[in-house]
Amino acid sequence: MALTERQKLILTAIIYEYTQREHAVGSKSLQEHLDIKISSATIRNEMAALESDDLIKKLHTSAGRVPSYEGYRYYLDHLMMTRRATDRDVQAVIQSFRGNFHEIDDLLDETARTLSNLTGYTALILKPRRIDIKVSGFRLVPLEGHQLIAVLVTNDGKVTSQTFKLPNEMAIESLESMVAYINDQMVGRPVNDVLRMMQSDELPTQMSRMIKTPAAFLQLFGDVLARSNGDNVHIGGRLNVLDFSKETDIADVKPLLEFLNNAEDVRQIASPTRDVQVKIGREIGEPLLSEFSLITRGFLVPNQGSGIIALLGPIPMSYSTNTLLTDAFGEALSRKMIEYT
């Protein structure tokens, strides 16, 4: 669809005004804010043309106009002023991270929290799926009340722990031989391989030679292994989605929150490409997100693949600012993740 330069200016102005105030935009308001001198009658004629092209629409409660999905899409594809994040932008993001991070998950949590705080929206981060995560060490830490903490370390720097209550008839000393066996035989092996060994008879058979009833220990070790290999969503500003959802009952919002917590669901809607991508409303492909916009960008982790950083917010948003921020944060993660490879 071909728009005149004047129509482009008016559509851009309507989107800007509506983003700032979320009120329908009328001809008089546009006349005050446009950089060109033009009568209200001419503006109304141009708005009628934009409406006939389905780029703006009229609300029943107001004489003004608001952007349509098609209007936002046209703006994003043809009118929005964009620029890629500069090295200065990226360095500013890196300097905004607080503290030193011993684990990748801590860095991703801080990144999501910082991006959410800057925008007021919900930030989502998925790190690359790794198929070569290996066991680096396993230990048991005794607690009071016949409890202990099982701690598993993997070669990606992740520490996974789980509290476990020993059966009354079992002493922690009786498990030392199995912990020693794991550290002797399993360190350096891929987590997926060890999980497969547990599902077969190989590992249970070996452990039954050291302890009469290894089932409880195997359950514990298996749970910690599975968690270490899990695919988690790192979320900043989780509840910010409530500010932009039409649903007010928590029971109605619950499916949305559950969706955002599911890494596989988030991967289905997010793009891992290094270029910033913007999807609005129904373009996202998920009915729960039909009222939102999703900005995504991939970030590269050497020898591991691409992770994804995403920003979820309302459809009326400052796209130029938020695409730049998403780009800067994605590139900052690409650089920071080198420290963990």
Domains of the chain, earliest start first: 3-77 (1.10.10.10), 85-128+231-337 (3.30.450.40), 132-227 (3.30.390.60)
Q: Name which of 222, 216, 137, 209 is nearest 180 in CA terms.
A: 137
What integer is the mean pLDDT of 34-39?
86
What integer is the mean pLDDT of 206-212?
64
Q: How confident is the model at residue 216 (pLDDT cuts 50, 70, 90)?
A: low
Q: How confident is the model at residue 251 (pLDDT cuts 50, 70, 90)?
A: confident
Per the prediction, the chain carries an average pLDDT of 87
Question: What was the pLDDT predicted at 248?
Answer: 63
Q: How many CA atoms lie within 13 A of 2 on its CB side?
A: 0
Given a cut of 60, whether residue 213 has pLDDT beyond it is: no
Q: Name which of 130, 66, 119 is nearest 243 in CA terms.
A: 119
Question: What was the pLDDT predicted at 206?
Answer: 67
Q: 79-136: per-residue pLDDT in tens?
A: 998 889 999 999 999 998 877 787 788 889 999 999 999 999 999 999 877 667 889 9
Cα–Cα distance for residue pair 251/263, rounded to 1 Å? 21
Q: Tokens 């720097």 label which residue? A: 157
Given a cut of 70, whether residue 335 has pLDDT beyond it is: yes
Percent of the chain at pLDDT > 90 equals: 48
Question: What was the pLDDT predicted at 326?
Answer: 97
